Amino acid sequence: MRQDRRLHWLLLAPALVLMAVMLYYPMLGTVYESLHETSFLNPDPKFAGLALYRRVLADGTFAQVLANSVVWTLGVVLLQNVLGFLTALLLNQNLPMQGALRAVVLLPFILPGVVAAILWRFMYDPQLGLVNSLLLQAGLIENSVAWLADSRMAMASVVVAAVWKGFPFSMLIYLAALQNVDRSQIEAAMLDGAGPVRRLIDVTLPAIRDVVVVNIVLTLILTFNYFDIIWVLTKGGPQSATHIFPTKIYETGFGQFRFGEAATYGVFSILVLAVLVALYAIVQGGANRRRAAA
């Protein structure tokens, strides 16, 4: 038994060392940096204690970045999961050219984030963009809208682009879950006279509940930490209307060379991600226990 435990830790050692070097050491370095005043012109760290935290919290930008991060994360996760689930329901039917349809739906997810953002930047162009052209033809707007330059519309615009990019991920997970639902239960509900909506509520959703919860928590983590689309589309603007933690960290650290403040934002971001990861672990552990009990 003792030899088995030694072999267990021996096999885990390479992965643990790699995680320590690639993940935990940089995290500790970020915490260290947040306690020191460091800039491009003054590269020698000077201990500042919690001064940088007080400075960041006193700055109105932090509250805006936090609010933007909440709106961005919840908006993308909600719409991505709803659209992904509805698409999965559709593709779970016996449709003609089913394989081709699934491949087409996956294309946005396969595209690199930067490429997808560039495509949407062209589509949002006030003069030549497809979005304005379609809305003008449909009579929904009277004049072209500068979607990415208007602080009232910028966040909604980047959320739409991110949902388009990310919903195939949720669709794929939900489609796999739907295909594992016990067909006998669905057929029994049909014999009892249950319609499609009632079968969905009483049979399908309870059967894939664990998958839904895990997918929501996982997309929360991925979306909160997402960077490409917002940076390429707006760089956090206009007037910081779309700045979230990753874009603010990048701009502060690599744009303004205020490394200490960037690290402080990074620590706050790590704390939020730690809560989300803990939530994911709790949800996943509960799902595993329910499967084991079944």
Residue 182: its pLDDT value, please? 82
Residue 172: its pLDDT value, please? 92
Q: What is the mean pLDDT of the chain?
A: 86
Check whether 285 has a pLDDT greater than 80: no
- Confidence (pTM): 0.86
More confident residue, 163 or 288: 163
Residue (of 33, 37, 57) closest to 46 by Cα position? 37
More confident residue, 127 or 6: 127
The average pLDDT across 92-102 equals 80
pLDDT in tens, 114-154: 999 999 999 999 888 899 999 999 888 888 889 999 888 99
Q: What is the CA radius of gyration of the chain?
A: 23
pLDDT in tens, 40-63: 666 677 787 888 889 888 888 899
Partners of residue 36 on adjacent β-strands: 47
d(Cα 166, Cα 80) in Å, to the nearest integer?
6
Instruction: Grade residue 162 by pLDDT with cuts at 50, 70 and 90.
Output: very high
Residue 71: its pLDDT value, please? 94
- Are 270 and 27 in contact by the 8 Å Cβ rule? The answer is yes
Residue 239: its pLDDT value, please? 87
CATH, domain 52-293, list 3.40.50.280, 1.10.10.10, 1.10.3720.10, 1.20.140.10 = 1.10.3720.10
- Are 167 and 83 in contact by the 8 Å Cβ rule? The answer is yes
